[in-house]
Amino acid sequence: MYQLRTEGMEGLGSSPVMEVGDTWELPDGDGSVTFTGVREYVSLQINRDGARPYALGSAVAAVGGLLVTLFVRPRRVWVRATKGEDGRTTVELAGLGKTEVAGNNAEFHELTTRLADRLRGGSDSADRHDRPSDPVDERSER
């Protein structure tokens, strides 16, 4: 928006109400003003930002990733299978829960039990002493 600063300007007299085609002679022979007509116009501006969908998609992915971290507990399981001198394969499991949730030990024990059953051929009728025992922290035994 523009504004005309009128301080320091001199008035030339009063302007009459003009119709289309009227001419007003300025005082002291300073010239004339002719009202030639009115043209209506409109100024439009259209912007298109091609990166907006990518920015929105990235923001949605970031929020989705944050939501996943709220509902998924981070934990790791390592499995190592080694062949012994007697030809038998020994399978060792290790687990790490990255939060202090008591359910991590129970889940790890369930995983080791299911893996042991699968390695034995899927028989659920195996004796209890053949199954892995409850996980024990070796540091507490020393």
pLDDT tens track for 84-138: 889 888 888 888 877 766 566 778 888 888 888 888 876 554 444 444 454 444 4
Asked if 38 and 55 count as a contact pair (C-beta separation under 8 A), the reply is no
Domain spans of the chain?
Answer: 73-135
Instruction: Give Cβ neighbours of residue 25 (< 8 Å, ≥ 6 apart).
Output: 32
26-58 pLDDT tens trace: 888 888 889 999 889 899 999 888 999 999 999
The span from the CA of 131 to the CA of 114, in Å, is 9
Question: What is the pTM for the complete model shown?
Answer: 0.36
